Amino acid sequence: MDFTPLRDMTPEELASIFPNLNPQNHLITSPPVKEYNCVAWASGINNKRIDFYRNDMGEIDDDQSCTRYIEHFKTLGYIECENSDFENGFEKIALYEDRRGDFTHVALQLEETKWTSKLGYLEDIEHLTLEALEGKGRDKYGNHTTYMKREKK
């Protein structure tokens, strides 16, 4: 493996990217793999990445905000909603953006206080709160800012 998985990180390494994550607020649920990312994971896909950094013309898009990702999740039946509060009968996702307004991450709600996230190449985890993955500054996810929901099938 050519990177350090979450399970092998020192507390200092963990804090440098996820300052709010600690052994009490998350559980590792998979080995680390590169084949899929958080967007794919939240979309129910685990054999390819979903990344809209290049636009349909093949150019690196100036707009790296959540917009394209919101459009993607709309195609999966999600609509934007006001908050991340648990609602019976609905699946919710939360999108993160960094301080430049660029999309960084999406988490999928499993239960009232349980979310699941694929952390880049790192492992899938279950985390108790959305804040567990927040962090300000360079090399951090930023804040959760956008919420979407769809009816559970």
d(CA 46, CA 152): 20
Pairing of strands 103-111, 79-81: unpaired
Per rule CB under 8 A, is residue 7 in the interface with other proteins? no
Per rule CB under 8 A, is residue 17 in the interface with other proteins? yes
d(CA 100, CA 60): 16
110, 130 Cβ separation under 8 angstroms: no
- Binding positions for other proteins, 29-88, rule CB under 8 A: 32, 34-35, 37-39, 48-51, 53-54, 58-60, 62, 64
Min separation Cβ 82 and other proteins, Å:
25
Per rule CB under 8 A, is residue 4 in the interface with other proteins? yes
Binding region for other proteins (CB under 8 A) out of 23-31, 75-83, 119-127, 144-152: 119-127
Return the number of other C-beta atoms located less than 10 Å from residue 49's C-beta. 15
Per rule CB under 8 A, is residue 116 in the interface with other proteins? no
